[in-house]
Structures are given as C-alpha cells and as structure tokens.
Chains A and B, each alone.
Chain A
Amino acid sequence: MRYAIPLLILGVLLAFFAVGLQRDPRVLPSPLIGKAVPAFELPVLALPKAESPPLSMGNAAFAGKPYLVNFFASWCAGCQVEHPYLMQLAKQGGVTIVGVDYKDADADVRQWLAARGNPYAPILVDLDGRAGIDFGVYGVPETFVVSADGRILHKHVGALTPEAFARDVKPLLGAGS
C-alpha cells in the first residue's frame, strides 16, 4: 500500500494542474468588492464645449444611482479597444460612466477624446495615480461597478466587452436601482 502513495500524490497534483490550466494567474480579484467605494475628490477635466463644470467632484456627487468607474488613459492600448463599446453604452444611456484619466497629460486626453468621442459623464483626473492606488488599480483599463448606496459590486480588468458587460455588469445594475 505505501508504495502507492507517490501515485496518489501525483493524482492530486495533476487534478490541481488541470484546474490551474483554466485560470489566469495574472487576474487579481479585488478585495474592495462589497465594500464602500474609496473616498475620492478629483479635479474634473475641462472640455471645450462643457458649460462651466465644477472644478472637482467626489463620492457624494454620484450617490443614489449605480454607476461605472472606468480607469483609462490615452496612452493605453486596451482603452482604445474598449472605447467604441463605451461609446455605444453611453449612447444607449441607462448607466453613468465616470471616467478617471489615469496618469495622463490633459492635452493628450483631450486630443484622444476629440478623435474618438467622449462616453464619460464627467472625466476626473488622476494625474499622480493616487486614486488608482486607492481603487487597487494595477493596469488600465479597469472598470468598477458601484451600487446606488456606494458599494463596489464588481471589478472588470482589461477592455470591457459586450459579453463581459452582459454577464457581469448588467445584472448588478438592475439589482442596485
């Protein structure tokens, strides 16, 4: 019997490897899920056509309705990929998308949005990446789903796709409102 122990250990290891093959070791779950959205107060990006927006906005401004927080930047390749879909979402209405421009030059992002359109309700500026750290951002784009009572319900890492939105985000928006 004891001569079969190595075989048993191998079996257990192989089973774990088989499960491991289906996981991506690089995707991190956020410890913020279910917790209150981190307090933030960020300057608002001034855009040419906007009518005198507030200089800065914080958590309070968005309370009462579920919303998305999308960390993006003009230098980020994944953001270009998801941008058309965000435009589509914005056109459909139904959910507010708060953009957080992460470690980006204002001039760059204005130019970037002028070329591609602006899906964001307001765009907040996180120039030094501090807000990113508070949200646990480790690579843009990342999208957070925030409930009406200000809790983070879900985090999507990487470009947001229609499938991911339908599967992970949409049900949460319904539940919160």
Chain B
Amino acid sequence: MIPELGHFALILALGIAFLQTVAPLVGYRRRDAKLLAFAGSAAQAQFFCIAFAYACLTISFVNTDFSVAYVAQNAHTDLPNVYRFSAVWGAHEGSLLLWMLMLSGWTFAVSVFNRRIPAELSALVIAVLGVISVGLLLFMLLTSNPFDRLFPVPLQGRDLNPLLQDFGLTIHPPMLYMGYVGFSVAFAFAVAALITGKLDAAWARWTRPWTTTAWMFLTLGITLGSWWAYNELGWGGWWFWDPVENASFMPWLTGTALIHSLAVTEKRGLLKSWTVLLAILTFSLSLLGTFLVRSGVIVSVHSFASDPARGLFILIFMAVITGAALTLYAFRAPKLASVGELHLFSREGLLLLNNVFLVVACAAILIGTLYPLVIDALNLGKISVGPPYFNAIFLPLMVPLFVLVGFGAVVPWKKGKAGETWQRLKLPALFAVAFAIVVPLALHGRATLLAVTGGLLGAWTIVAASQDVWRRIRAKPSFIAGLASVPRATWGMTLAHAGLGVWALGVAFVISYGYEKDVRLAPNATTEIGDFTFGFVGAQEAKGPNFIAQQGEVTIERGDHSVTTLYPQKRFYPSQRNVMTESAVDATLMRDLYVSLGEGFDDGSWSLRIYVKPMIRLIWLGGVLMFLGGCLAASDKRYRLARAADRKLALDGGTQAA
C-alpha cells in the first residue's frame, strides 16, 4: 500500500509540475496576476507530493519491504538502520528521487522567499523550475520508478553496495545534490531574465544568495566525497580525476565564476550576458554530470548500473533544457549588452580575468573527460585520459587564479592605482615569499618546486585575502568595534579565499612530502617509512553487524615513542559476496598515518599499504572554510533588506549602465 501511495504522489506531482509551468507562462502573456500567483502554490503542492513520495520510499526501506524491487536490490535485513535511510539514494532510482526532492525543495524555497522579488519574475522562475521537474518526473515514471513492485517477493534483499556503507556517504550525496540542483535556481533566474528582457543590478542581487547557497553545498559535497574516497577506496588518494568527480567539479568551477561575475553585474551593471551564460552553463554542466554518471558512456569508478534507454532519455532532456535556454540566449542576449567603461586593472577587470581562468579550467576538464568518447565516436580507437593529463593541464591554469585572488580583494572597483596596490600588497607578498622558503625547509628539510609554489600561492592567498578585514578593523577606534563593522559578506569572501589558500598548502605539501609503501609483512615484522616505524602484529578475524573481517593490528612508533596502534580491516560482506578495504587512519593537522590491508598469505603475512600524508587534512579544512565562507556570504543582511533598497539599487544600476 505504501509504495502505491508513493507512486501515486509522483504522478500527482507530475500533474502539478505541468500546471506550475503552464499557468505562469500564460499568466505572463495575459498579464494575469492570479495565474502568476498560482505558481507559488503549485510549487508548494509539488514539494509536499515529492516529500511524501520520498517518505514512502524511506518507510519501505526501514521496513525492508522486499516487494519493492528497488528495496530488494539495495537493502538487507542485516543492514544497520542508519544505512537504511541512506540506502534510499544508494542506487539510480532512489537517487533520482533525492534529486527530485532537492529540486522541489529549492522551488519551494523560491516560492517562500520571493517577497522582495517582482511577482512576474518570481512566477517565471518557478515556471522554469517546473519544466525541469516535469522532465525529471517523466524520466522517473517512465524509465526508473523506485516504487516498481517485484513478484515473487524475495525472502532476502541484495543489500546496499558495501562501498556506500560509510558515514561519509550518508551525507555526501545529499550535499552534492543540494549544490548540483541548487544551480537550477540561478539557471531559472537567467532564463526568466532572458524572457522578460529585464536584467538589472537588482536581478543580480536576488540571484546572488541563491547561487552562493548552491555553491556552498556543492563545495561541501565535493569535500565530503573526497574524504570518503580517501577512507573507503584504500588508495590513500583524495582526488582521482574520475569522470564522475569531474562531473561534480565542472559546475563548481563555473559556479565559482558565476558568483564572481554576479558581483560585477550587481556592482557595476556590466557582464550581463556573460553572467546569464554562466548561469545556464553551470546548471547544464550539472545535467551533463547526471548524463555521464547514469548513461554508461564513460568508464568510471562510481557510475550507476547503466541502461542505454535511460541515457537516451537524459540526453533528450538535456537537449531540451539546455538547448532551449541557449536558443533563447542566442536571440535575447544581444539586447542585454552592457555598456560601461571597463578597465583591466580594476576589481571588475580582475574578476573577469578570474572568470577566464575558471572557465578555461572547466573547459580543460571537459575536454579531457570527453576526449576518449569523441575519439571513439570518430572510430579513431580507444584512448585513456587520466590523472597525469589533468594534473599537467589543470595545475598551471590554477597559478594565475591564485595570484589574482590576492589582488582582487585589494584593487578597487572602476579603476585601480598601481602605486596604492603595491603599498597594500608588498607586505603580504614579502610574507608569502618568506613562508614559501622557510616552511618547507623547516618542516621537511628540503624544498621542492611544488612545495615552494604551493606555499607561496597559499600564503599569499590567505594573507592578501585577510587584508580587507584587517583594514576595516584598523579604520575603527577599537578592535571590537572594528570586528563588528565587518559585513558578513566580507567575512565570507575572506574565509572562502583563505580556504582556497589552505587547500593549496595541503595539496602542495601532501604531494611533495608524502611517503607510500607497498610492503609484505610477516607477523611481528616492521618497516620504516619516513621517521616512523610500522610494526605488523598480525591479523585476526573480527565480526561486524553484516560483515566478517580480517582485522590487522599495526603499531606505529617514532623514535622510542609509541604513536598509535591502527586496526585496518578487510571486510567480506556475505550478502553481496563483496570484499571491501577499510583503511585505518591516525590523523593530526600536520600528518596522517594511513594503513590499509592488501592480500593475506597462508603463512600469516599480509601485504600492507602504508602512507604518511603530511598536512592532507588541510585539503578538507580548506573545503570546509570555503563552505563556511559561503554560509556567511549568503546570509549577509544586504540580501534581506526591504524592497525600497532594491528599488534604489535598481535605479543606481540603471544610471550606471546608461
């Protein structure tokens, strides 16, 4: 009964989504306020239907109702309760439902927080979101219904993929989807602006917090994904340039560019058509990611069980959504052309440069990800494009970006002065150079090119980014008053940029000074890596709720001190007859000690993978700082001011653009 209710709710949601699209569009043509106002109610009704359907699927999982095919494929009576909740999005059908829940949730939010937005614009935004809903709901109902029944009912389910039975993965997909899907709001704002032809500073101001919010969730989602891969895959790596990772990273890059170009559009009334294009591209790249992951056109670690029929549907969906938006853009964008003076050496000029590098970096990843597919489609054979390519191309493109970050926060709008900029930045530059030379030598006794470059750029970014806050504080008589005077948006920007610097330090140091060793150890044998002595005590059988494990015991010493004892596991999940590596990590801010079990041999010895990873935590810390920066920026009170302020701003923007 419950699955049928869920299925029915989805069908109902499809009908409502259809109305949610048609009514406001008709209302816009006829200038009918009632039809426009209907959009919000429809969005809310649709959200409740989807939330209800989602709850139905969750209940089916908690009750392990194996008559539902999707539950039978992804649950097991031994599956711990926490994972029954996360199993809902453990495979294709359910994760689509989560996608849909997020989409209707964002639409719901737009319908609630729209008081400051003109009714016309808000209704059109909701209508555009409605089109996306219709497409996704059709996709679910036609090819991937999570409520399909199974007969005869199996006695036992096939269980959730053990790779996904991890805490990191219970929160990673929801965050990632929040971000992915959240960009649909910026997309809808962009399309609505193309329809009405009205794009002013106020539009940019309304779009900004939505974009920042989506971006910060995507940032957190990617960070969690990286952390999960590090812990679960047993390779000690934190980023693999896998097509699926790239699929989430591309919208992040264009989304970051969008945040910055929105700032220019708001403050200076410039880059209007470019901002609109970025908003369209960012969400389109999210759709592209969905296509790549679910269609099976590309080989990836994380791809879902693929099905060409589904691939074709998403392809058509993408063609319709992105194609329509870009067609509209081709016709309408020329009218959005912004006229205004733009100096390269000004904040907007530097932000534009930042956009160039971010978008080219994104294009490089797109080229690398799709190149094998293109070569194959042209019958030129099969090639692989892997991490060595991406590192070689992506890292050089990042260098100018980091340099720009420092300038961007200091150079004023309209036109900067070289002398003034130098006065402000000479100390940060000096500090960065000193840091880059001293720290690698002090910590590790040798300097590599990467460590020095990373140290230089990281320190530069952090210190130069803090300049703005520092100046605002110094301008006030007391420190406390100064702190209080810094707007949240400034804090947000500073924190996010500092996070970027922290990330760069982590990357440079972990690559430069990491050790790894693949070694076969007999019980009670030891091996030395860096300053550490790893001793393998032996391995024993251990039992978990739904797995049997071989658990190794590894003692770690440094000099005469015992550092810690680690217990890495190799787990066997009988339900899926699957073997999983559960690595063991001892983490501090300065270094991780990482051990994972390889193969066991008959004489009791095991092959072990041992890593010493200096400062790898900084990589995720950087991600978290960016997320927090996003939180602060999105919650700035400027975005919550009364309508009067918007009107004034719209007027200002208007005069500036004229």
Contacts and interface: CB of A to CB of B under 8 A. Distances in A.
Do A and B share a direct contact in the complex (Cβ within 8 angstroms)? yes
B183 interface: no
A16 B333 contact: no
Contacts of A16: 370, 373-374, 377
Contacts of B373: 16-17, 20, 25
Contacts of B372: 25
A20 B378 CA distance: 10
Given A17-B291, A25-B376, A7 B330 contact: yes
A117 to B, nearest CB: 29
A63 B53 CA distance: 66
B329 A23 contact: no
B626 to A, nearest CB: 28
A7 B319 CA distance: 10
B382 A20 contact: no
Interface string B373-392: 11011000110000000000
B315 A10 contact: no
Interface in A20-54: 20-23, 25-26, 28-29
A14 interface: yes
A6 interface: yes
**Size class of A's contact patch?**
20 to 34
Q: Which of A3, A7, A29 has the most CB of B within 10 A?
A: A3
A17 B297 CA distance: 8
B297 A3 contact: no
Interface string B32-56: 0000000000000000000000000
Contacts of A13: 370
Interface residues of B, number: 34
Contacts of B331: 3
Contacts of A6: 277, 280-281, 326, 329-330
B338 interface: no
B154 interface: no
Contacts of A19: 377
A115 interface: no
A25 B373 CA distance: 8
A7 B277 CA distance: 11
Contacts, number: 67
Given A13-B370, A16-B377, A17-B291, A25 B297 contact: yes
A107 interface: no
A75 to B, nearest CB: 14
Nearest to A21: B311
B322 interface: yes
A14 B277 contact: no
A21 B376 contact: no
A10 B322 contact: yes
A166 interface: no
A25 B298 contact: yes
A17 B315 contact: yes
A25 B377 CA distance: 10
B112 interface: no
A20 B297 contact: yes
A133 interface: no
Interface in B261-315: 273, 277, 280-281, 284, 291, 295-299, 308, 311-312, 315
B315 A7 contact: no
B80 interface: no
A27 to B, nearest CB: 8
Which secondary structure dominates where chain A touches chain B?
helix
Given A17-B291, A28-B382, A4 B377 contact: no
Given A3-B273, A26-B299, A29-B381, A21 B327 contact: no
A20 B376 contact: yes
B323 interface: yes
B376 A23 contact: yes
B333 A3 contact: yes
Nearest to B284: A10
B297 A7 contact: no
Nearest to B336: A3
B326 to A, nearest CB: 4
A18 interface: yes
Contacts of A29: 381-382
A25 B303 CA distance: 12
A3 B329 contact: yes
B624 interface: no
Given A10-B326, A20-B373, A20-B377, A25 B281 contact: no
B297 A23 contact: yes
Contact of B299 (A3, A7, A18, A25): A25
B98 interface: no
Contacts of B291: 17
B87 interface: no
Given A3-B329, A10-B322, A29-B381, A21 B312 contact: yes
Contacts of B318: 14
A21 B273 contact: no
B323 A10 contact: yes
B308 A21 contact: yes
B334 interface: yes
Nearest to B298: A25
A29 to B, nearest CB: 6
A29 B382 CA distance: 7
B242 to A, nearest CB: 13
A31 to B, nearest CB: 9
Contact of B323 (A7, A23, A25): A7
Nearest to B312: A21
Contacts of A7: 323, 326-327, 329-330
Nearest to A26: B299
Given A3-B329, A6-B329, A16-B374, 13 more contacts: A4-B330, A6-B277, A7-B323, A7-B326, A10-B284, A10-B323, A13-B370, A17-B295, A17-B297, A19-B377, A21-B297, A25-B298, A25-B372
- Please name the 10 residue pairs, one residue from A and one from B, whose CB atoms are nearest each other, closest first: A19-B377, A4-B330, A20-B297, A7-B326, A3-B333, A20-B373, A25-B299, A3-B330, A21-B311, A6-B326
14 contacts: A6-B281, A6-B326, A6-B329, A6-B330, A7-B326, A7-B329, A13-B370, A14-B318, A16-B377, A17-B291, A17-B315, A20-B376, A25-B297, A25-B299
